Amino acid sequence: MNVNTQAWGSAFTEYSGLNVRTGAADINDPDFENYPPFVRNSFNVDTEIQYVPIGDLYYPYLDDNESINLNKPIERSIAYCACKNMDIPINKIWGYSCTPDSSSSQYPELTDTSAILLQSDNTPIPIMLLDTIGIGQARNHGMSANQHYFRNPFYRTSQGVFNQQTLWTQYAQNEDLNGVQGNPYDNTGRSHSNKNLFAAYYRDFGIRSMFLQIRVTYYNSIGSTTETPSGFNDKTLYWYSQQTAEWRESHPLTGAYGRLIVRNSTAGLYQQGNNVNPDITVNLKSNWNFSTVSIGDLIQQPIANVDTEYLQSAFPLFGVLAPNHWLTTETGTHASGGISQNVAILIGGGENSPIVHKQGKDGTQYKGTMWCEMEGTDENLELLRKWCAAYGLFFTDGDSGDTGYSQLYAAGNDSTRWTDEKMCLGVIDDEGFTDGTYTRGIGNETANNFDWKTVSESKYDPIKPPPTPDDPTIYSDETGFNVLGGVANCNKVYAVNASNIMNLAKALSTAITTRLSDLPPLDYSLETFLTNNPLDCVVSLRKYPVTNLSSGTEEPISFGSYQNANVQGIPFVKSYDLITFTFSNAARNSLYAHFADFRDYEPYTHAELIIPFCGTVQINPCDFIGHDINVYMVIDYITGGCTAYVAADRLVVTSIAGTIGVDVPLSGIQTATLESQRVNAVMSRKSADIGVNNAIVGGLSSSVGLLASAGAGSVVGAVGSGAGLVSSVGRIEQADIAYQKADYELKHQQVPFKQVSAGTPIASTVVENCCRLIIYRPVLDDRYNAEVYAKTVGFACLMNGKVADFSGLTVGNINVDGLAVTDTEKQAIQKAFANGVIL
């Protein structure tokens, strides 16, 4: 049943989403029947569970001894996460009492001190009623010993958060903890601490409005000395460890708390949606109360802290304020400079926790019994950081001085504050969980929530379906790369620079400086042949986009057995490289669920990876949402090729090949060929030279014959011999021509050049030096109005249940069996539901 808040009458006013009566309830009021059930209940009027509208949502009001089965999410409620499918008899969720303070503020509160949330077995209900931002709005008020308040952080006067009681919830637990209080983590190590039941209230609270400063308190447990909290400064003390039953000299850490630093936009910090004026400094200054928490495998062990000094205040940032314990806030002053007030923060404890009970060795040496102690080791301090990180807020472990939080706090530092080395940020994943992981300094920029201005930018929605169903695929499998490891080959590779290449080219072009007569003695060994043609020993010359492929000392490059002292390189022993490009899912640098609905998948959203030297590869969002995208690029230094394997986490999904090595053309003389040609040419010229000589000798011989014939009076013979002389002259000329030809060929010896590779287009080398992920997401029409759409069309879904489980416009198939109506009416009902009804 919906409650018409207007019908509650003028006695009730809208109050930050809760309707609160400003005056005393009066059973004689004509509007009494329209009072909220918890009001009527105070007059012992039976009521039924009702839901109070807050905006277009409804929140349950439950009365004493009523129960609610949380088999579906309460809208915007963390409770479902903690209590799903549990029948939870509620002794009381909240009651009603209007206790105006001095400025007539009102708030809903539990009606009595025993009104805690219990399950049927009387263990506390593991319900999450906590908000990250639920840090101190109190001033001049404390949590009294017999009151428990629900906090309403958006109630502010025109002066800002002023004169309002801090309303703290008691519990902030997870479903796995079986009622143990105050643990910020569930058994998967995830935290809900950054979430809240009344998210709608806080949606516009600026994340960048604040940061936490972790401060620790060191106590001298022997005496009464309390060291002033001051960052993580070391305090060496002499103390007795109950845990180890020995006296130790170190620094027992007995307290830690967060100091919330809040400022408004005028001071540099982002502030939205509130009426804060002027700056707020929420000093979470107090001692703290150890309760029971755990992290990871630590087991909770309740710690009864009965020392009144500790009871005066506690830090329920994790909702760890124990039942019937309370906060006492520090009186602050409201001035233009800010408001000081106390609230709460860190906590720790557990059987295996560094926090243990501390009791005096002889029971008297200590300030009180059952003190808690935690040794201030680096490990423990890191634990504090992790606890603080669970809120998904900015925090610092910096000291209090000018170099610490004050510097971060200072106005005008907004551009550098969030990436300061002293600033950390609890990382929130896509589902809104934290796990204690935090980033620091410039690394903060990699966190999902770094750019969030308000908590509403979280994608967390308790009623959305889980983003991915259980998946049998093991994404953490090893990729299996490097199965064969390096492959030996018969070549030798050198890393060279441009200067080396010039020397190489020069040497290959001037390798032959010897004269023929200087040729070494004949040597038919393989080494000699390898020596003769150095260029033939060059297999490839490639450039890779990697700085200094190899380190070491340059040495002469061996071309077979030929070496030139001027040609040097650094031996390169690898045959491949494996380079990984990562798009982090945790840092929201991957294909995260942007809309957290169907639009995150194809065909609405599609994506591609641009991989250097390989090109573009299409990837399906459904394969990668929720995972890191890892691109494993294998560079083959033997061939210059590369292959990029695209993996979801470590599960390879697709691959693409490319070329990364740029072939550099290299030319030089084929020395052995040249020498061979030279030898042949020289030999030809010598042969021709001999031919010329022989021809001349032959000619002279013929002349002698001619003279002899003429002397003998033989004219005919002389004539015949004269013809022979002519023939000899012709041979001489021919021999001379042959000589000149051979000489010409020798002088115009063709130098046998050779080129290694034809080169690669340089354009292919002009690429980005890193992988790029491009995501194409759909766009809704600007005129789309979700609220109107919900009322007129409704959102597509597929849910089963009872009609009572749904509200608003509902379209579906209803089972009308059992309804006491006619068949005609049943058909009409089914038709009406098929067309859409308003529930």
Q: Which span sits near another protein by CB under 8 A: 62-70, 211-219, 344-352, 530-538?
A: 530-538
| Terminal Cα distance for the chain, rounded | 10
Q: Does 204 bind another protein (CB under 8 A)?
A: no
The footprint of another protein on residues 725-784 (CB under 8 A) is 768-781, 783-784
Non-local CB neighbours of 309 within 8 Å, separated by 6+ positions: 287, 367, 368
The footprint of another protein on residues 348-407 (CB under 8 A) is none
- State the nearest-atom distance from the C-beta of 93 to another protein, in Å: 21
Q: Does 28 bind another protein (CB under 8 A)?
A: no
Q: Please report which helix (H) or strand (E) contains residue 436, including its range.
A: strand 434-440
Report whether the peptide linkage leading into residue 60 is cis, meaning its omega lies within 30 degrees of zero. Answer: no
The footprint of another protein on residues 56-85 (CB under 8 A) is 56-57, 75
- State the nearest-atom distance from the C-beta of 75 to another protein, in Å: 7
**Binding residue for another protein (CB under 8 A) from 631, 644, 669, 732?**
631
Nearer to another protein (CB atom), residue 75 or residue 109:
75
What does the per-residue mask of binding to another protein show for 778-817, with x meaning CB under 8 A?
xxxx-xx-x--xxxxxxxxxxxxxxxx-xxxxxxxxxxx-
The footprint of another protein on residues 465-484 (CB under 8 A) is 465, 467
Task: For residues 630 and 584, give the distance between their C-alpha atoms in angstroms, rounded to a whole number.
Answer: 8
- State the nearest-atom distance from the C-beta of 207 to another protein, in Å: 21
Q: Does 616 bind another protein (CB under 8 A)?
A: no
Q: What are phi and psi of 87, to 5 degrees?
A: -85, 115
Nearer to another protein (CB atom), residue 558 or residue 677:
558
Q: Which span sits near another protein by CB under 8 A: 352-360, 385-393, 697-705, 818-826?
A: 818-826
Nearer to another protein (CB atom), residue 716 or residue 838:
838
- State the nearest-atom distance from the C-beta of 570 to another protein, in Å: 6
Q: Does 216 bind another protein (CB under 8 A)?
A: no
Task: For residues 148 and 766, give the distance between their C-alpha atoms in angstroms, rounded to a whole number.
Answer: 66
**Binding residue for another protein (CB under 8 A) from 496, 644, 651, 674?**
496
Nearer to another protein (CB atom), residue 483 or residue 779:
779
Q: Exposed/middle/buried for 8, CB within 10 Å: 0-12, 13-18, 19+?
A: buried
- b/e per residue 518-547 (b: at least 16 CB within 10 A): eeeeeeeeeeeebbbbbbbbbebbbbbeee
Q: Which span sits near another protein by CB under 8 A: 7-15, 137-145, 389-397, 577-585?
A: 577-585
Q: Does 446 bind another protein (CB under 8 A)?
A: yes
Q: Which span sits near another protein by CB under 8 A: 19-27, 257-265, 322-330, 821-829?
A: 821-829
Q: Does 615 bind another protein (CB under 8 A)?
A: no
Q: Does 512 bind another protein (CB under 8 A)?
A: no
Task: For residues 766 and 777, give the distance between their C-alpha atoms in angstroms, rounded to a whole number.
Answer: 28
* Total of chain residues touching another protein, rule CB under 8 A: 130
Q: Does 501 bind another protein (CB under 8 A)?
A: yes
Q: Does 558 bind another protein (CB under 8 A)?
A: yes
Nearer to another protein (CB atom), residue 260 or residue 619:
619
Nearer to another protein (CB atom), residue 639 or residue 677:
639
Task: For residues 231 and 219, give the distance between their C-alpha atoms in angstroms, rounded to a whole number.
Answer: 14
Q: Which amino acid, 817?
A: D
Conformational region of residue 392, where left means phi above 0, alpha means psi within -120 to 50, and beta covers everything else: left
Q: DSSP 3-state assignment of 17?
A: coil
Q: Please report which helix (H) or strand (E) contains residue 530, including its range.
A: helix 526-532
Non-local CB neighbours of 133 within 8 Å, separated by 6+ positions: 153, 196, 202, 205, 210, 455
The footprint of another protein on residues 447-466 (CB under 8 A) is 461, 463-465
Non-local CB neighbours of 671 within 8 Å, separated by 6+ positions: 511, 512, 532, 533, 534, 535
- State the nearest-atom distance from the C-beta of 231 to another protein, in Å: 31
- State the nearest-atom distance from the C-beta of 799 to another protein, in Å: 5
Q: Does 839 bind another protein (CB under 8 A)?
A: yes
Q: Does 337 bind another protein (CB under 8 A)?
A: no
Asked if 151 and 137 touch (Cβ cutoff 8 Å), the reply is yes
Nearer to another protein (CB atom), residue 469 or residue 713:
469
**Binding residue for another protein (CB under 8 A) from 582, 620, 667, 760?**
582
Non-local CB neighbours of 534 within 8 Å, separated by 6+ positions: 507, 508, 511, 559, 560, 562, 668, 671
Q: Does 304 bind another protein (CB under 8 A)?
A: no
The DSSP code for 572 is E
- State the nearest-atom distance from the C-beta of 394 to another protein, in Å: 21
Q: Does 527 bind another protein (CB under 8 A)?
A: yes
Among candidates 202, 201, 172, 167, which has minimal Cα distance to 343? 167
Among candidates 287, 334, 321, which has minimal Cα distance to 138? 334
Task: For residues 261 and 441, give the distance between their C-alpha atoms in angstroms, rounded to a whole number.
Answer: 18
Nearer to another protein (CB atom), residue 710 or residue 775:
775
**Binding residue for another protein (CB under 8 A) from 19, 500, 503, 702?**
500
Task: For residues 36 and 580, give the distance between their C-alpha atoms in angstroms, rounded to a whole number.
Answer: 61
- State the nearest-atom distance from the C-beta of 661 to another protein, in Å: 7
Q: Does 583 bind another protein (CB under 8 A)?
A: yes
Non-local CB neighbours of 603 within 8 Å, separated by 6+ positions: none
**Binding residue for another protein (CB under 8 A) from 10, 473, 482, 491?**
491
What does the per-residue mask of binding to another protein show for 649-668, with x meaning CB under 8 A?
------------x--x-x--
**Binding residue for another protein (CB under 8 A) from 104, 228, 497, 727?**
497
Nearer to another protein (CB atom), residue 149 or residue 460:
460
The footprint of another protein on residues 589-608 (CB under 8 A) is 589, 594-599, 604
Asked if 314 and 172 touch (Cβ cutoff 8 Å), the reply is no
Q: Does 539 bind another protein (CB under 8 A)?
A: yes
Q: Dump the DSSP string for 685-737.
A: HHHHHHHHHHHHHHHHHHHHHHHHHHHTT-HHHHHHHHHHHHHHHHHHHHHHH
Nearer to another protein (CB atom), residue 416 or residue 785:
785
Report whether the peptide linkage leading into residue 278 is cis, meaning its omega lies within 30 degrees of zero. Answer: yes
- State the nearest-atom distance from the C-beta of 563 to another protein, in Å: 8
Owner of token pair 């009365």: 63
